Amino acid sequence: MSLGDMIWHGRDEEQQAASNVEGADRRGSPVGPVAAVTTFLGRLGRLDVTELTAVGRAWRTAVTVDPPAWFAAEGAVGLAVRATNRQGVQEAALEELSEVVRRRGWWRLDHLDDPDSQGLTEAGIQYAATLAAIALLVGDVISRSDMERIYSPFVTLIPFSELNYVPEAGDGRATSGEEAGG
């Protein structure tokens, strides 16, 4: 099932009934985590090489500023996927992300010529995009600081407002523990 289908199946009965009318527009304005990921992937697919390079640099900065916090946030995302049983939607998101990478030819980013790229390749950018997409799927469960940390490489190019998404404090089922510490 595609992410688009998951958005459709997630609508309430009234929305589905209204859209089941012959000729009705099923595109509508979906909301929620799956819709945020779908919008994110659509915007991601429109970023150019310069913007993707900026994402790669921002990702490296985010990781190197506080590696333990980055990896704890990454772990919280993984725990949240399991705690919410969202593996199926995660798989669909990863399939769509793979299509973005394939269609846009990210492999051309291998060994960027920019002297400041410091060996940056598409693999780092793809990792950051993968983690950001999955974090959006579980943003209702992870802490706000974990969400903001993981999404930080993209926030200037694809702000939360474009996703109709506002990071909120999760319910604590899966966090890096940063909020507990103060």
DSSP-assigned states of every residue in 28-88: ----SHHHHHHHHHHHHTT--HHHHHHHHHHHHHHHHH-HHHHHHHHHHHHHHHHHTT-HH
Distance CA 142, CA 167 (A): 9
Range of the domain at 141: 34-177
Q: Is residue 172 part of a domain?
A: yes
Please tell me whether residue 173 adopts helix, strand or coil conformation.
Answer: coil
- pLDDT of residue 104 exceeding 80: no
Q: Which of 138, 130, 148 is nearest to 170 (CA)?
A: 138
Average pLDDT over residues 139-163: 94
The total number of structural domains that make up the chain:
1
Residue 114: pLDDT band with limits 50, 70, 90: low
Q: Are 63 and 118 in contact (CB under 8 A)?
A: no
Q: Roughly what angle, to the nearest 10 degrees, separates helices 87-104 and 3-10?
A: 140
The DSSP symbol for 22 reads T
Task: Establish if 1 belongs to a structural domain.
Answer: no
Q: Is residue 21 part of a domain?
A: no
The pTM of the full predicted model, rounded to 2 decimals, is 0.76
Provide mean pLDDT across the span 82-108: 86
Would you say residue 122 lies in a domain?
yes
Residue 9 lies in a domain: no
Q: 47-82 pLDDT, tens per residue?
A: 988 898 889 889 999 999 999 999 999 999 999 999
Residue 76 lies in a domain: yes
Please check whether residue 51 lies inside any domain of the structure.
yes
Among candidate residues 89, 126, 79, the one with its CA nearest the CA of residue 107 = 126
Q: Are 33 and 137 in contact (CB under 8 A)?
A: yes
In a domain, residue 133? The reply is yes
Q: Which of 16-25, 119-128, 137-146, 169-178 has the lowest mean pLDDT?
A: 16-25
> For the chain, what percent of residues have pLDDT higher than 70?
66
Residue 147 confidence (pLDDT): 95
CA count, 13 A, side-chain hemisphere, 70 = 17
